[in-house]
Amino acid sequence: GDSVTQMEGPVTLSEEAFLTINCTYTATGYPSLFWYVQYPGEGLQLLLKATKADDKGSNKGFEATYRKETTSFHLEKGSVQVSDSAVYFCALSDNNDMRFGAGTRLTVKP
Amino acid sequence: DGGITQSPKYLFRKEGQNVTLSCEQNLNHDAMYWYRQDPGQGLRLIYYSQIVNDFQKGDIAEGYSVSREKKESFPLTVTSAQKNPTAFYLCASSPRVKAGNTIYFGEGSWLTVV
């Protein structure tokens, strides 16, 4: 069945460092892809999405490009801030179902 | 403000008791979902509902029950049959169950068995 694999954490970076969190997927159809962010003790918030190959989702300085040839949707940000510290989830939606990765915890130190 | 409200935020359950977690949405969404999140892990789908008076089992439905009597409400009951219920429970909704639709989440409820 469909599944999402994301880079294991935790990831610790200094402020203003470059961020990449890897995400790859397995799907039989043509899924939509998402990144969600979860701050401590809260629910998940949509960060960005892409619905077809080569689409780029972007929000709050984060970007991810839907790469069908490599079945990937890696999350990037050029300069992270302390406030970006959270858990990030990659997800796919296909055939009336949404599958989530295990989450990657990011800690940004001043 | 539109959104999804879960209550209570924290709940303690004695072994052998049933407990019900509330979820209400005022987004006029057709579809609603319940997920379970264990520490350091991803989300697992318990139940989902596409329309009033209809719901489907997810990956880990055993020991849980739901109802969908109103479009706005999708309560989850954690029964005594659920052997390891301590977890963070997330309710969510989307305009309908359709590939590509964004799912919106509530703030979550922490359930602890004491």
Coil, strand or helix at A77: strand
User: Who contacts B84 (Cβ-Cβ below 8 Å, separation ≥6)?
Assistant: none
Q: Tell me the pLDDT tens digit for each residue of A7-50.
A: 888 999 999 999 999 999 998 888 999 999 999 888 899 999 99
- Tell me which residues of chain B, numbers 5 to 34, contact chain A at a CB-CB cutoff of 8 Å: 6
pLDDT at residue A97, as a whole number: 73
Q: What is the mean pLDDT of each run of 10 residues along chain B (114 residues)?
A: 89 90 95 90 90 93 96 96 91 81 91 90
pLDDT at residue B40, as a whole number: 75
Question: Counting one residue from A and one from B, how many pairs have CB atoms under 8 Å apart?
Answer: 52
| B63 φψ region: left (φ > 0), alpha (ψ -120 to 50), beta (else) | left
Separation between Cα atoms, residue B45 and residue B58, nearest integer Å = 5
pLDDT at residue B97, as a whole number: 67
pLDDT at residue B47, as a whole number: 95
